[in-house]
Amino acid sequence: MSSLSKVLSNPKYQALLKAMKDGKLDALEPVMSFEAGVEYPKLREFFDSTSEVKEALDELVEAGILAPEVVDNVMVCPHCRTHKLMVRALCPACGSLKLSRSAVIEHPSCGHMDFEGKFRSELGMICPRCGKPLKGGDYRVLSKPYRCLNCRRVFSEPRMEYFCSNGHRLSEDSLAFESVNAYKLSPGKRALLEHVTVDVEELVKPLREEGLVAEARATAVGRSGVAHDFSFVVWGDAQAGSEDKRERPPLLVGSVHMSKRVTAPDVLVLYAKAFDVGAQAKLIATRGTVDEEARGLAKVYGIEIVESRDPKELAEKVKERVLKAIRQGDASKSEAARG
């Protein structure tokens, strides 16, 4: 499956792209914090986790829909990728952590230089060479070096060592550098959004008007324990109660494809997810085309395919096929009961 087809067959990506098409989203700017790292607040309503956001942004860039722009950077642990790091200074000579740090002071009138502690007394700052009391303008701070309490070395630059929050011990050279990007719609892609996005809510609205419990961009949990995303899910008659819908297998799961062509992998993905959640019926709706291999697989796996370039006609066809599938399911149940 191509990157573009994969993106356009994902209901969460569809919702994001529609928001961009409608002008509700423009630039996706990162926000950085020590607690959360790099976040994209505008994407919280579309995705469930930061890892899902990262995967989505990477795939949208690969598909050529979003264009990244470097706006910041962050150093992370190369092993676990966490940004939470603690820094410690070591003696570059013996590696000891037993260090002290103090300013070196010069008394210009007599030329004496020493650590600040040698100038301090109960009477204030006094030059240990000439004995003259010193005020702020009588001396100057030259540097603030480190002193190793183990080997007695004095140095200006210690060796830095890092510990990440997961316990990995790192040198400065081993830290991983990560660019932080903002994202915008790639030039010339707005016309593509007009073609490839569809309002899934408009597809399920007629189903609700028929008294069905139907949800756009829905998630259903399979027998494997995996939560699967669908463009829409129909649970059944609203009179059965919408509160317990998550506890029953869906009557029908649907996948909306706005890419130019529905391929065999698209059919296989829907079949695998539908089988896991125990859906009675499966449907693919597309404003594009369907290749012959995909059409043949759909027939074998009992997947209905609905095609139309007109959004209203597509919604009407989806309603007809869903109601037909439900009637067939009810007829099968009645026949099984009589048997």
pLDDT value of residue 339:
53
Give the separation between CA 126 and CA 56, rounded to whole angstroms: 65
Give the pLDDT band (50/70/90) at residue 246. low
The pair of structure tokens assigned to 294 is 């995909």
Q: How do residues 216-241 score in pLDDT, each as one tens digit?
A: 878 888 999 998 888 889 987 654 44
pLDDT value of residue 306:
92
pLDDT value of residue 137:
86
Indicate if the pLDDT at residue 8 is higher than 50: yes
Amino acid at 311: P
What is the pLDDT averaged over residues 114-118?
A: 90
Give the separation between CA 176 and CA 170, rounded to whole angstroms: 10
Give the separation between CA 128 and CA 24, rounded to whole angstroms: 70
Indicate if the pLDDT at residue 209 is higher than 50: yes
pLDDT value of residue 128:
94
pTM passes above 0.75? no
Residue 129 backbone phi and psi in degrees, to 5:
-90, -50
